[in-house]
Structure 1
Amino acid sequence: MEKIILTTESGSDVPQAMADELGIRIAPMHVILGDESYPDRTIPVADVFDFFKRTKKMPTTSAVNPEEYTAFFLKLREENPEAEIIHIAYSSKASCTYQNAKIALDELRDARIRLIDSETVSSGIALLLWKSAQVIEGAQSADQAEELIRGLIRRERVSFLPDTLEYLRAGGRVSNAAYLGTSLLRLKVLINMVDGRLVASKKYRGDMEKVSFQYLEDFVKNLGGNRDAIILFYAEGFSLPLLERLKDRCRQMGFEQVLSTDIGCVISCHGGPGVMGLAAFADEA
């Protein structure tokens, strides 16, 4: 079968080791601190949190624009003239990255570049890419690989648990009343990916040390029996010793692969310090 290259945006929070191993090419999104714009992952996440703490102004993010996508794909095609390219984009309902990629590809008219809406965000896409690389190895054609990847999207489950709703409130994603209520009652609000959108759901009471294990247990119950892989993703401020205990618990629960990664500036702008998330595949769509 022809060579297939996987591509995505930096908001997918693909660990560098995974990108290197699987040959994943990544187009940078941008984070904006005041008047300065930076490609994602070129500045420390701590700078994002420090900016908000100092100015009380929400850092903002911007998608890869069509011109940047055009340059990205042209360079990749120049380097790999015969390859099939599958671009797995950040959810079209959470960012304009997918639409911008489509604009670029409509102009390029390269039939060997396929665009897929991941319908998820952050390390949900990283896990999807990891699994996609596996299904590509067994696919008979790029058409079949694309079909298999779309099947994975329907089975993936992704959610995250912010330590605070302050950043979601500042970004206009939750109300001030909801923020105050959860803060006073020491509640953690679970955010699920549902049909490509972020949707608030269950509330957990207590600190992250306590509720993260409850969250993990609830998440795994909804997967059915599938235990091939799980990824834990987190922002600066999350306890690394706690992360290791959660990974140990995942292994005890029978997961064959337990992955973890820190998230970059783009996602940290929305989740805030100390956020954690989980992604895995369910038995059925």
Structure 2
Amino acid sequence: MRRIIISTESGADLPQDLADKYAIQVVPMHVIMDGKDYFDGSLPVEHIYDYYERTKKIPSTAATNVHEYQELFAKIQADFPECVIVHIGYTSKASASFHSAVIASEEFENLVLIDALNVTGGLAAIVLYAAALLEKEPSIELERFIAKIEEAVPKSRLAFIPGSLDFLRAGGRVSNIAYLGGALLKIKPVIELIDGKLVSTKKYRGKMSAVAEKLIHEYLSEYNINRDQLYFIYSLGLDESIKRRMDELAKEAGFENVRWIQAGAMISTHAGPGGFGIAGLER
């Protein structure tokens, strides 16, 4: 039985301890600031916010390129001879990264690509579901493993409230950005992944403490999320009191495990400081 190795992009915001636990291989995406290209993960998020405060400009981001995927896949196969690589990728509808992986894959055998049609915690939920399944059934047949992941893709539900509309607007990744035109003030849009695209689905008014609570109630009412695991996503600057309240609400809703995921530099470039999100897999 060949060993299966899972890989993904840094845009999954996968916590390092979990990447290490499951030997998940992570390839960085890019943040470009002051004309310099940084690997996502090598740039402290605080630098992005400091840069904006100084310049009122927002860094740009870039996908993982073909060469970087070639290096990733070659290194995995060198480190784990005879393995099969299952790459669970950042949505192809919001980045060229998955397309680069497709091109790179032409040079490799024993490589399977799955478009997760999701980002940050929504992507992490799928990757970690796959990793837990592999840990539970290490001899699982590849075809069954792939089928189970593909079944999970449409069940991953992500919703988040950006901390700054300036960052979101500048990123230009939300398909119906005109919906945010009411952003005049104190309006906080909810961004969800619909068929792999980031879409503004509703808007709330008020402070983040109030709208975060409203988001979790509406999210859990709309989606029948598996109670085994829930993910909260935050960007630096989110008040600790909000985190504590979200933990309380998750416990009241019957979730056995809650994991907080910090948005990395790439995601934070679009979400801005103080953002909050929620992700999980539907039953």
Give the shorter-chain TM-score range.
over 0.9
CA contact (8 A) 2:92 2:196 kept: yes
CA contact (8 A) 2:122 2:158 kept: yes
Aligned-partner SS, 2:132: helix
Choose from 99, 105, 114 the match for 2:112.
114
Pairwise mapping of residues 108-187 of structure 1 onto structure 2 (< 5 A)?
108-110=107-109, 112-136=110-134, 137-138=136-137, 140-173=140-173, 181-184=182-185, 186-187=186-187
Following superposition, which runs of at least 4 residues in structure 1 exceed 4 angstroms of deviation? Answer: 173-180
Superposition deviation, residue 176 in structure 1 = 9.1
Superposition deviation, residue 252 in structure 1 = 1.6
Aligned-partner SS, 1:232: strand
Partner of 1:96: 96
Aligned-partner SS, 2:100: helix
Separation in structure 1 between the aligned mates of residue 94 and residue 36 of structure 2, nearest angstrom: 23
Separation in structure 1 between the aligned mates of residue 36 and residue 156 of structure 2, nearest angstrom: 35
Q: CA RMSD in A?
A: 1.7
CA contact (8 A) 1:5 1:85 kept: yes
Structure 1 segments unaligned to the other structure (5+ residues): none
Aligned-partner SS, 1:101: helix
CA contact (8 A) 1:164 1:183 kept: no
CA contact (8 A) 2:125 2:156 kept: no
Aligned-partner SS, 1:255: coil
Superposition deviation, residue 183 in structure 1 = 3.6
Partner of 2:33: 33
Separation in structure 2 between the aligned mates of residue 17 and residue 234 of structure 1, nearest angstrom: 17
CA contact (8 A) 1:187 1:204 kept: yes
Instruction: Give TM-score, length-normalised by structure 2.
Output: 0.94
Partner of 2:4: 4
Structure 2 segments unaligned to the other structure (5+ residues): none
Pairwise mapping of residues 227-238 of structure 1 onto structure 2 (< 5 A)?
227-238=227-238
| Number of aligned positions between the proteins | 280
Amino acid in the other structure paired with 1:5: I
Amino acid in the other structure paired with 1:109: F
Separation in structure 2 between the aligned mates of residue 204 and residue 2 of structure 1, nearest angstrom: 49
Task: Decide whether aligned partners of structure 1 residues 43 and 227 sit closer, same or farther in structure 2, where only a CA change above 3 A counts.
Answer: same
Superposition deviation, residue 109 in structure 1 = 3.0
Superposition deviation, residue 180 in structure 1 = 6.2
Superposition deviation, residue 224 in structure 1 = 2.2
Amino acid in the other structure paired with 2:268: S
Superposition deviation, residue 179 in structure 1 = 5.3
Instruction: Name whichever of 24-33 and 242-251 sits farther off.
Output: 242-251
Separation in structure 2 between the aligned mates of residue 278 and residue 176 of structure 1, nearest angstrom: 21
Pairwise mapping of residues 41-120 of structure 1 onto structure 2 (< 5 A)?
41-106=41-106, 108-110=107-109, 112-120=110-118
Amino acid in the other structure paired with 1:122: T
Task: Decide whether aligned partners of structure 1 residues 177 and 141 sit closer, same or farther in structure 2, where only a CA change above 3 A counts.
Answer: closer
Pairwise mapping of residues 186-197 of structure 1 onto structure 2 (< 5 A)?
186-197=186-197
CA contact (8 A) 1:230 1:255 kept: yes
Superposition deviation, residue 131 in structure 1 = 0.9
Instruction: Give TM-score, length-normalised by structure 1.
Output: 0.93
Amino acid in the other structure paired with 1:57: K
Structure 1 residues 107-147: Cα deviation after superposition (integer angstroms, max 9, x where no partner): x131x111100100012111111111122333631111011
